[in-house]
Amino acid sequence: MHFFIEDIYPDIRKIMPTISLATLYNVIQTLMTIGYLNSVPIDKEKRMYDTNLMPHNHFYCEECGKIYDIDVNYAKLDVETIIEKEKHKVKYFTTIFTGICKTCLAKRK
């Protein structure tokens, strides 16, 4: 599941009416620290959160804002190279492809 804090905030407030945006940020931060959540920068201002903890890549649709998980082999190989040859410990990696998704393209026709 992918989400932006601003998008889930109204739903969270329905359950916990007194929660502030700052508190929600802290909760999200804690979940990330204990490894229950990944964060993916979409651009300078936008940061998406992801419950999928496995290394994977993303496709971001500029039109509907939907995020798709995608599997790209070269990225996987890159990480293996870093782990095996460089001996770094990789905790997370991501590549973001931005464009127009198939659903939006179909609507245009």
Q: Which residues bind Zn ion (CB under 5 A)?
A: 50, 52, 61, 63-64, 69, 101, 104
DSSP string covering 45-97, please? S-EEEES--S--EEEEETTT--EEEE--HHHHHHHHHIIIII---------EE
Q: Which is nearer to Zn ion, 21 or 105 (CB)?
A: 105
Measured from the CB of residue 78, what is the shortest distance to Zn ion in angstroms? 18
CB 90 within 8 A of CB 83: yes
Measured from the CB of residue 4, what is the shortest distance to Zn ion in angstroms? 13
CB 58 within 8 A of CB 95: yes
Q: Which is nearer to Zn ion, 69 or 80 (CB)?
A: 69
Measured from the CB of residue 87, what is the shortest distance to Zn ion in angstroms? 27
Measured from the CB of residue 44, what is the shortest distance to Zn ion in angstroms? 20
Q: What is the DSSP letter of 35?
A: T
Q: Which is nearer to Zn ion, 27 or 104 (CB)?
A: 104
